């Protein structure tokens, strides 16, 4: 596996976390299945050039910025895409 492939997987994970997305919501945005996202993120399938174009459109980040690594890509996100709680959602649990 190339360093570029690993970097892209880490970048996608960082973008998903920053946007509060699950594999399922990303899959809907990319018009693929959750299973395909899972395989790509585990390195069992490669992200294609078409996938990269769709990731770029989905996150509103130009392809070169998407390929510069997770920190750079997350910094390029529109503030409107950043989740209120990065990495998840808050729940109120009453006791």
pLDDT computed for residue 84 by the predictor = 80
> pLDDT truncated to tens, each residue of the chain (95 aa)?
579 999 999 999 999 999 999 999 999 999 999 999 999 999 999 999 999 999 999 999 999 999 999 999 999 999 988 988 766 554 445 55
pLDDT score, position 22: 95
**Model-level pTM?**
0.86
Tokens standing for residue 86: 């990065």
| CB-count burial class (<10 Å; 0-12, 13-18, 19+) for 69 | middle
Contact (Cβ atoms closer than 8 angstroms) between residue 92 and residue 48: no
The chain-wide mean pLDDT, for the chain, equals 90
Q: To the nearest 10°, the Cα dihedral for 68, 70, 75, 81?
A: 120
pLDDT for 1 equals 59
What confidence score (pLDDT) does residue 90 get? 45
Separation CA 20–CA 86 (nearest Å): 6
């Amino acid at each position: 596996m190339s360093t570029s492939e690993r970097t892209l997987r880490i970048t996608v994970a960082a973008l998903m976390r920053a946007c509060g997305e699950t594999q399922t919501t990303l899959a809907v945005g990319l018009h693929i299945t959750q299973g395909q996202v899972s395989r790509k993120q585990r390195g069992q399938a490669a992200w294609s050039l078409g996938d990269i174009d769709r990731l770029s459109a989905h996150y509103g980040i130009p392809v070169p910025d998407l390929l510069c690594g997770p920190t750079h890509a997350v910094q390029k996100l529109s503030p409107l895409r950043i989740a209120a709680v990065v990495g998840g959602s808050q729940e109120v649990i009453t006791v």
